[in-house]
Structure 1
Amino acid sequence: MIVYFYEKLSDNLNRYVAPAPTPSRLNISYFVSNGYLVFTPDISYTDGQPGESAMEYINSGVEKLKQNPWVDGTKIGIQGQSWGGYQVAYLIAHTDMYAAAWAGAPVVNMTSAYGGIRWSSGMNRQFQYEKSQSRLGKTLWEAPDLYIKNSPLFAMDQVKTPVVIMSNDKDGAVPWYQGIEMFTALRRLGKPAWLLNYNGDDHNLIKRHNRKDIQIREQQFFDYYLKGAKAPVWMTKGVPATQKGKDWGFELTDDKP
């Protein structure tokens, strides 16, 4: 099973999702056509506790589904993009109940992201935390502990879940160094992590060949950790920067990541 989340998705329950590569959100129709159950929980938030709120709603729904014999509780993955990517990072830093995780364009350090810029609009990001989606409701100086508590970066040493991070250098919404902070922290701590940077692409992938690329990698990643498939070269050996665009590393091997 894969859990995909972003705010509330229940209003899309009867919406047709075309089986085509997405901008980086989970391709639900593709995965359910290939042996996966996909769970999309709604999340309600308490101001000042975005991370804890997400964990409460997502984990409780997963625990309920695990009571069914057709759900393998040891083989559950999570995927989120943008605000969902933040919640993926928060979840794996505070629970070990997931076997694999995929975080697209995550914010992991609210203290550094607070003073950043949304490059697509030129807006300072402070509104995001004080009055908008991040729901902290205070400035960094009024509640520094609140910013740290809700920043997954400061709990990366607790991560046990393998994770892929997508962070693109032309992201106009989330500072792409947030993904770098997460990746370098996990690498420094010896945790299993992979970083994807689609050079020149945006917060949500625009270029179709990049959408196809991420679809393949996402399937290979979850197939390995959730279905016991072979691992691809990009997971076991990586792809050197000098070979980017020449060697994709899609070949499956008997090696382990």
Structure 2
Amino acid sequence: MSDPLSLVALGAALGGAAGKFTEKAWDLGERWLKTYFANHGKKAQLKAKENSLEFLKELVERVKKLEDDHVVNKREIEHAMDHPEFSVLLQKSILNSAQTGNAGKRSLLSRLVAERLKYPSESTYSLASKMASDAIANSTPRQLRILGLLSFLQELRWTGDPLSINMYQKFLEKTLSPFSKTADDFNEKDLLHLEALSCITYQRGSERSLGVLLSMKNGRIEKDGDWEARFDEQEFNDSELGTWLNYLWNEALAGVYLTSVGSIIGKFVFDEITGITTKDAEWS
């Protein structure tokens, strides 16, 4: 999709509000790219256009799905496109996508912009999304995986009937195994960088218990009001997965908390890596 005509053709094929969105997004994007990269080399300009076109292709497909699923309507899409706040987010994300050859980052950026259509201006999401666009662009793949892992540990939990201890162990292994590369070359500088990007707050020396946190994700409240956890902490700690996660936790993650920016990105990364579609957070 390095040919602008292909994007125009896609917009025409999509039709509806998504089609109009495509036309306007590329018209604006082309002007922004021309201005931003005016004094850069020809090859850099061409690569920037190629990267941004890949981003826009994925973005318009996401917008089309939102429209088809009746999550957003024509009026909401058009209103967003005419709002300066959304326009700035779109501009940031087009320019950020233009600077990376990482398809994963472009995918996160496209979802970030598409999801913004669900929320009103001045909402926490709409305000944090502009910061999130820059944070995605300026994070390493490992740092993004850390946010995805933290999203699961801090914000997500099993919502169905409590699993058996054995099934919960398998659930944790299946869900967390894709993040195992996070331990490779992990160091405190990753956290300091994420803190500088306003994705996390970092409190050294925290004694938060990983076992308690994982226990609270699977269980039920008994008649006497006590919490019955269905989690064998010792079995988990003795497993390869438990050894890995305890290392990360004790090394630093116990003292890390997601901000609104980190929460948005972390959720998207978690969904991307695991293939699980998690519920939308409440962003008032």
What is the TM-score of this pair, normalised by structure 1?
0.26
Q: Which has the higher strand share?
A: 1
Larger-gyration structure (1/2): 2
Q: Which has the higher helix share?
A: 2
